[in-house]
Structure 1
Amino acid sequence: MRNQPVIRVQQVSQRFNTASGEFLALDNVSFDIHQGETLSLIGHSGCGKSTLLNLIAGLTLPSSGGLLCNNREIAGPGPERAVVFQNHSLLPWLSTYENVALAVRQVFRGEMNKSEMHEWIMHNLELVQMAHAHNKRPGEISGGMKQRVGIARALAMKPEVLLMDEPFGALDALTRTHLQDAVMAIQQRLNTTIVLITHDVDEAVLLSDRVLMMTNGPAATVGEIMRVDLPRPRSRVALADDSHYQQCRQQVLQFLYEKQPKAA
């Protein structure tokens, strides 16, 4: 895991022009993301987590500083960086199969024949346990199932980095738990690099190799980076009484609610 970083964020600042003047969202943010690790971004609302994820995705460009993916400048979106949003963003008139097929055709047109594309689409639906619903449209499946399809679509692009912007935030607690377990299993199987935005301290500690804690905005920056040295695969039941898990959890809580008290 401690090989050449796959993503480098170097002295990045982001400013926006508003009706009341210039707004500095991010100020001099620097960190690396290594191959095969899961890095969580956590902080109070308005600390620039989504802004930072959009910069890594190439959806926006920084006001100053730079971002690299495999030592190449991130100058726009690319299939090596797939995004899973809180909203599944599935096209409602297409089946789950066809929603995944859209991404596969876009990335692998000319590289796979029709049979190979079909096998690859079904393989990724199977990874998220949605192959049985490949003919169903989004309106016919639950919120958790929609999100599974969104993850399958992202994985089908064979990304080096999977960017997840609060992908479980709108789900009920039980569905959220099942999807967290699914993401951990997929990461273990594929060794995918994951960047995850979350507001949930337990989720951050459970899923991550490192937790990056953002200071309050405006002018948010990296406050602390905590390593989570818990063996994998991880069991939430076993970790409930684990002293190191509790210590990590407490460290994040102290940062959020003592070092970075939320404004009233």
Structure 2
Amino acid sequence: MAMQPFLDISDVTVAFGRSRVPVLNGIDLKVARGEYVSVIGHSGCGKSTLLNVVAGLLPASGGGVVLDGKEVSDPGPDRAVVFQNHSLLPWLTCYENIRLAVDQTLSKSLSRAERHEWTMENLALVRMTHAKDRRPNEISGGMKQRIGIGRALAMKPKVLLLDEPFGALDALTRAHLQDQVMAIHAELGTTVMMITHDVDEAVLLSDRIVMLTNGPNARIGEILEVGLARPRDRLALVADPRFIAARAAVLEFLHHRHAAPGLAAA
């Protein structure tokens, strides 16, 4: 008997208003427990729309999502989302931003002292213990994203949903944070679904890369298995033929077979 996928996105179609042309059409994706999957495609192809359906923030017009045997119909603590914009509460300290999520999701299972310990543990996990008493306006953009990731992980989610989480950061900060997410994924075995437009990022972090065709009416055009062993070292991978081949395959899909809308006619 075949094992049920941990995250099962089944024939998901999303249409807005009276439009006859859906944004997404018949998206089928099965994700195993502990797998890191990236979704990539040009702007307007519905990447974030797909993530919002999995998060329960947006209803599908057709099809559905099942996580660990339970149908997704609304937002829940089993799915934690980290957006490009950190969305921290500005009047709370870094500690308080994480503690709030812990109190809201784990108050029935952990005592007050245990919730404090768990908050501190997640601050340490994203290397932000030193800034626990600072407010968001007192820390850098990269540090804000680290707190956002720490807050998401502190909820003990079944799946971590990342919506271009490094997109607004400078290259050096982005690289540091990517390395940190790789380390956290290795340590915790968290199931991750990430939206990105960065090809190198997708190849570096993912087990599989899901490539969407252009929207509207976007579909899964191709799924690439990234055959790179873990742990991964970004410097060693630069010259690795498997990394180069995976990167070339994604670029070929995006820029030759499915060029960005407007560029194809140029």
Equivalence for 1:250: 248
Aligned-pair distance for 1:3? Answer: 5.5
Give the distance between the partners of 2:3 and 2:189, measured in 1 at CA. Answer: 14
CA distance in 2, matches of 1:262, 1:48: 13
Structure 1 residue aligned with 2:111: 113
User: What is the Cα-based RMSD across aligned positions, in Å?
Assistant: 1.1
After TM superposition, give the deviation of residue 66 of structure 1 in Å.
Answer: 1.3
Name the CA distance, whole Å, in 1 between partners of 2:188 and 2:4.
18
Where in structure 2 are the equivalents of 1:2-81 lying within 5 Å?
4-17=4-17, 21-81=19-79
User: Tell me, which stretches of 5 or more residues in structure 1 are unaligned?
Assistant: none
How far has the Cα of 1:119 moved from its partner? 0.4
1:200-239 alignment runs, 5 A limit = 200-239=198-237
Aligned residues: 261
* 1:3/1:35 contact within 8 Å kept: no
Maintained 8 Å contact 2:8/2:66: yes
Residue type of the alignment partner of 1:11: D
Distance apart, 1:261 and its partner CA:
1.0
Rounded to whole Å, the distance in 2 between the matches of 1:262 and 1:91 is 36
Query: In the TM superposition, what is the alpha-carbon distance from 1:4 to its structure 2 partner?
Result: 3.6
| Alpha-carbon distance in 2 for matches of 1:176, 1:41 | 18
Task: Give the CA deviation at 1:189.
Answer: 0.1
In the TM superposition, what is the alpha-carbon distance from 1:246 to its structure 2 partner?
0.2
Q: Which amino acid aligns with 2:11?
A: Q
Query: Which deviations, in whole Å up to 9, do the C-alpha atoms of 1:77-123 show, x marking residues without a partner?
Result: 11111000000000000000000011001101132222111100000
Letter aligned with residue 12 of structure 1? V
Q: AA paired with 1:79?
A: P
Change (3 A) 1:125 1:254: same
Q: Distance in 2 between matches of 1:59 and 1:23?
A: 21
Give secondary structure in 2 for the equivalent of 1:216: coil
Which of 124, 131, 134 does residue 132 from structure 2 map onto? 134
Identity percentage of aligned residues: 56
Q: Which residue type is aligned with residue 14 of structure 1? A: V
Q: Distance in 2 between matches of 1:251 and 1:138?
A: 39
TM-score by length of 2: 0.96
Deviations 1:113-136 (A, max 9, x none): 221111000000100000110000
The one-letter amino acid of 2:22's match is: L
TM-score, normalised by the number of residues in structure 1: 0.97
4+ residue runs of structure 1 moved beyond 4 angstroms? Answer: none
Residue 259 of structure 2 is aligned to residue 261 of structure 1: yes
- Quick one: distance in 2 between partners of 1:101 and 1:181? 25
Q: Could you tell me whether the CA contact under 8 Å between 1:144 and 1:171 is conserved in 2?
A: yes
Indicate conservation of the 8 Å contact 1:162/1:193, yes or no: yes
Partner Cα distance (1:114, 1:11) in 2: 43
Equivalence for 1:102: 100
Secondary structure in structure 2 of the residue aligned to 1:13 = strand
Contact 2:107 2:115 in 1 (8 A): no
